[in-house]
Structure 1
Amino acid sequence: MSSAPPPTAGQLVRFSAIAVPVAAAGLPLGVYLPAIYARDYGLSLTTIGIIFLLGRLWDAIADPAMGALSDRTRSIHGRRKPWIAAGGIVFGLSSIFLFFPPFGVTPLSLGLVLFFFYLGWTAVQIPFQAWSGEVSGDYHQRTRIATYQTVVTSSALLLTLILPTIADQLRPGDGRLQLTLMGGLVLLTIVPALFLTLTALREPPLPPLPASRPRLGETIRAITGEPLLLRVLASDFAVTLAQNIRAALIVFFVTFYMGRPEWAGGLFLFQFVFGIFAGPIWLKIGRRYGKHRTAVAGELVQVAINLSLLLVTPDSFPLLLALTLAQGLAQGSGNLMLRAIVADVADKHRLDSGEDRTGLYYSVFSLAGKTATAVAVGIALPLVSWLGFDPKGVNSPDALTGLLLVFALGPAIAHAFSAALIARFPLDEAAHAEIRRQLEPGSPGYAFAE
């Protein structure tokens, strides 16, 4: 096996730079933009909801298509870099119209902007994730690479969360100012981030191109016929589902159950501050115990934290702060390990089939997370409403108890399910080392050297 030195810390920080504009655009897209477009630009909530739903459906189609296309791309610059560069241009230009609409906002203009925004975002994100899994074939180095991306992403999300708070201090309720600050962060970082990422590392040698173009049925079988991939996808779906149930309800929980509306945004920010420190902690645990065991441990910690929320009362705000701190330190542990495992599964598939489908596998991994984000809102909000909670009216003690139960038990159950799915995962460090040995140059399954 190649003894090429692992990437330095500086190289990995540069390589992860593209996560800054991507995260800075992604958070407002789901949290702030719909409300601002409704309040400040006059679009109805129904219209915005339909447009964003159609945008997500387009995104769901584009993800696997981009994964398969980047797997088959051959150029002097590699197969991932051209897509990231082109996608970055489309992403940046569409961000101008998304955050700084020059002629107002109409349903048609918003739909067109989101079409190109999601196209550019996918062309950046999916090839970048696949490239991340190819930087090294070493079992633990892949976790290290994913950790740097997690820390950079968390830092970008923290900064993005701070900007609307600053806007509210300057001009309360001014949605256009919030858009200006958040969009400014995206536009200021996209060009330097692209440069840093594209020049940080060299792509590995290109694998052989399959003799025939894969058909749709063959591509679907490559996904559904890999049981280890399906376990990883289901486990990550459960992790993301848990996280987004909590995110969808945290403002309601803090405002109505705790009676502390002044902390509704601050508590979310508090969690992200400690989330920045989570990656290096879980990296060390992963090196010692392996990725799937660490993922299970992280999910069980999350189960304990969320069950402990059942002990929180409106008078025990310090307990909620402590649990939020713990939530931040445990944040993303499962996602981090599972993302690194995808590359290991792609190695196994390449050895078994002779086909390199790393980009395809990361695209369906991304799609699973996006689907879970949508499903979480579709479960959490109707459920608390059915239990009697109404954010516009006076809530009975029973309705507030229902809110607490969904806020605590929903994520706890999903995290427990994630842990059960990934427990006793057979592709551990020893099994992966044997796969990499058989993928040495000259072997039938060889795709690329480290």
Structure 2
Amino acid sequence: MWKVSSRRASRSHPSTLILYALPAFPLAALALPLFVIVPTFYSEVMGLPVAAVGGALFAIRLLDAASDPIFGWLADRWNGVGGRRRGFFLASIPLTAVAAFMLFWPPQTIGLGYLLIWGGLLSLGFTWSSLPYTAWGAELSTDYAERTRVAAFREGATLIGTLSAISLPFAFGTAGANNADGLKAVAVLVAVLLPLTGLMAFVFVPEPVNRSTREFGLMQSLVFMSKNRPFLRLIAAFLLNGFANAIPATLFLYFVSGRLGAAEWRGPFLLLYFACAVLGVPLAVKAARRWSKHKAWSGAMLVTCSIFAASGFLGDGDLVAFGAICVCTGLLLAFDLVLPPSMQADVIDNDTAVSGSQRSGMYFAAWALATKLSLATAVGVTFPMLSLIGFDPAQDRSSPDALKGLSLLYAWAPIVPKLAAIGLMWGFPIDRVAQRELIGRT
């Protein structure tokens, strides 16, 4: 009887989790345009030179990567009003909201400096907002299973925000000046909803208990992180799986247009994929509760490999089969989004038990860097491979050999890093029992 009551007491009220998750919606809605739509918009619609836009965005990406450890460290050291998680997050919102509005709704006549300034400020603001926000969620509960619920609410809102960002450009048109209308809609959405939802979360969601008994400088923090073996194992698996997911994500538009011969279905398939990911969130929570997080994630990756391999056999007109693959892999995407962040909270417990310092900001900064590295690596690998196999997206029709190579690269290349990630995670040392022991030591 006592155990049942204890389990219920550890569960946050759904309204608390909804209020915490709400800011994830506008944050996700600005992320996709920032990295996907802005390059084309500023070159084709605003008339800036393509090479200059590419150089500016490269500089912004470098700034983005450099800012992660700095904001992660600051997130752990903040002692201002509202607490180190809530207060630091709330302080970031004006910069993020204003920069998003200015970047997505530019005046008619601008120069390259406009893109550099507001793109750079939005990159800094997004990092500043995201790191204390995810650290806040990781610390809301010390319960193994409850952390998965927290991550599920947040990642569910993230997926809905992503769907909105995908849908708005289609709703307003995706070519020529109509792109401006889609970006303006996103600008208004972020400028209004981010301050509103951020303030609601600040007021109604509690500040986590800081379990730190010591504080360290940036370099000392990095030393302790490098000695946290479960963390190194988890982030290596996360990096491998992220790289595996980024390969088909990079090639998705080419595969649907070139291999399936259905360019007009790119948008609907993308929406179907992310919509099914939303539906897969509760499945991930239930699987983690039944089999533990690492086993549920490993099983989902294994099933994804078997399903995704089938796409390598598809050709012109196989739309129903590809739609079924989008449904299945979309459902399983939820496992990739929900379970690793929940496990990240558990490996932070391992560090806190050893060092006496709870540094969730630093850990999620490393997480963000791993995400960016996996995406950059996928682009750096796949495009040279496309050239090697003779696939040219500018051509109306590629050769059969080039299309076959595209299928192999899209469907089967991701399997190797996914299998490596499974190998790392199958015997992961922090399960429910081990995590409860770690909490007892802090």
TM tier relative to shorter chain? over 0.9
Deviation of residue 5 (structure 1)?
A: 4.3
Q: CA deviation at 1:203?
A: 0.9
The letter of the residue matching 1:146 is A
Alignment of 1:355-370 (within 5 A): 355-370=357-372
- The offset of 1:172, in angstroms, is 6.6
Who is 1:222 aligned against?
Answer: 224
CA–CA distance in structure 2, aligned partners of residues 377 and 265 of structure 1: 21
Residue identity in the other structure for 2:171: I
Residue among 285, 306, 322 paired with 2:308: 306
- The residue number in structure 1 matching 2:411 is 408
The residue that corresponds to 1:448 in the other structure is none
Q: How far 1:387 sits from its partner (Å)?
A: 0.7
| Structure 2 SS opposite 1:203 | coil
Match of 2:350 in 1: 348
Q: Alignment partner for residue 288 of structure 1, among 281, 287, 290? A: 290
- Conservation of the 8 A alpha-carbon contact between 1:245 and 1:377: yes
In structure 1, how many angstroms separate the alpha carbons of the residues matched to 2:407 and 2:218? Answer: 48
Superposition deviation, residue 200 in structure 1: 3.0
Contact map agreement 2:73 2:362 (CA 8 A) in 1: yes
Instruction: Identify the residue that residue 270 of structure 1 maps to in structure 2.
Output: 272
The 8 Å contact of residues 303 and 413 in structure 1, kept in 2 or not, is answered as no
Alignment of 1:372-391 (within 5 A): 372-391=374-393
Deviation at 1:353, TM superposition (A): 1.5
Once the 2 structures are TM-superposed, how far is the Cα of residue 391 of structure 1 from its aligned partner? Answer: 0.8
Structure 2 Cα separation of the partners of residues 231 and 351 of structure 1 = 18
1:98 equivalent in alignment to 2:103: yes
Does residue 423 (structure 1) correspond to residue 426 (structure 2)? The answer is yes
Rounded Cα–Cα distance in structure 2 between residues aligned with 1:17 and 1:285? 24
Q: CA deviation at 1:410?
A: 2.3
Aligned equivalents of 1:304 and 1:105: distance in 2?
49
TM-aligned CA distance change 1:421 to 1:335, over 3 Å: farther
The CA deviation at 1:383 is 1.0
Report the secondary structure of 1:77's partner residue. Answer: coil
Q: Is the 8 A contact 1:282 1:333 kept in 2?
A: yes
State which of 145, 148, 158 in structure 1 corresponds to 2:163.
Answer: 158
Q: 1:205 aligns with which of 209, 214, 227?
A: 209
CA distance in structure 2 between the partners assigned to 1:103 and 1:396 by the alignment: 42
- 1:55-204 paired onto structure 2 within 5 Å: 55-102=60-107, 104-168=109-173, 174-204=178-208
CA 1:173 to 1:305, structure 2 compared with 1: closer, same or farther past 3 Å? Answer: farther
- Please report the TM-score for the alignment, with normalisation by the length of structure 2: 0.94
Cα deviation for residue 228 of structure 1 reads 1.2
Tell whether 2:235 aligns with 1:233: yes
The answer to whether the 8 A contact 1:296-1:334 is kept is: no
Q: Is the 8 A contact 1:239 1:335 kept in 2?
A: no
Q: State the 1:227 CA deviation.
A: 1.7
- Match for 1:293: what amino acid? K
8 Å contact 2:160–2:278 — kept in the other structure?
A: yes
Q: In structure 1, how many angstroms separate the alpha carbons of the residues matched to 2:421 and 2:49?
A: 37
Q: Distance in 2 between matches of 1:433 and 1:48?
A: 50
Deviates more, 1:423-432 or 1:311-320: 311-320
* Cα displacement (A) at 1:85: 1.1
Q: Amino acid of the residue matched to residue 421 of structure 1?
A: L
C-alpha displacement of 1:130: 0.7
Deviates more, 1:122-131 or 1:54-63: 54-63
Cα deviation, 1:231-258, whole Å, max 9, x if unaligned, reads: 1111111222222211211111111111
**2:412 aligned counterpart, secondary structure:** helix
In structure 2, how many angstroms separate the alpha carbons of the residues matched to 1:47 and 1:234? Answer: 34
Aligned residue type for 2:154: Q
Q: CA deviation at 1:95?
A: 1.0
1:72 and 1:209 in contact (8 A); partners too:
no
Which AA in structure 2 matches 1:68?
A: W
CA distance in 1, matches of 2:218, 2:83: 23
Counterpart residue number, 1:332:
334
Letter in 2 for 1:426: P
Over residues 163-188 of structure 1, what are the superposed CA-to-partner deviations in whole Å (9 max), with x where a residue is unaligned? 1111128x876221121122222123
Contact 2:155/2:337 (<8 A) preserved: no
Instruction: Tell me which residue corresponds to 2:38.
Output: 33
CA RMSD of aligned residues (A): 1.9
User: Of the candidates 251, 255, 258, which is equivalent to residue 256 of structure 1?
Assistant: 258
Q: Distance in 2 between matches of 1:341 and 1:144?
A: 12
The residue identity in structure 2 corresponding to 1:134 is E
Residues 251 and 410 in structure 2, CA contact (< 8 A), matched pair in contact too: yes
**Aligned amino acid, residue 187 of structure 2:** G
Separation in structure 2 between the aligned mates of residue 122 and residue 315 of structure 1, nearest angstrom: 42
Q: Which amino acid aligns with 1:193?
A: T
- 1:7 positional shift: 1.3
Contact in 1 for aligned 2:73/2:218 (Cα 8 Å): no
Which whole-Å deviations, capped at 9, do the CAs of 1:396-443 have from their partners, x for residues lacking one?
A: 00011111111101222232222122120001111111111222xxxx
Give how far 1:103 is off.
5.6
1:209, CA displacement in angstroms?
Answer: 5.7
Structure 1 residue 14, shift from structure 2 partner = 0.9
Aligned residue-pair number: 436
Indicate whether 1:396 and 2:393 are aligned: no
Q: Structure 2 CA distance, aligned partners of 1:423 and 1:191? A: 41
Distance 1:404 1:411, change over 3 A: same
Q: Which sits farther off after the overlay, 417-426 or 4-13?
A: 4-13
Question: Could you give the per-residue CA deviations for residues 211-240 of structure 1, whole angstroms, max 9, x where no partner exists?
Answer: 6x5252x23212222121111111111222
Q: Mind listing any 5+ residue stretches in structure 2 that lack a counterpart?
A: none
Counterpart check, 1:13 vs 2:18: yes
Q: Which of residues 437, 441, 446 is equivalent to 2:440?
A: 437
- Structure 1 vs Structure 2: percent identity of aligned residues? 28
Tell whether the 8 Å contact from 2:256 to 2:262 is kept in structure 1 after alignment. yes
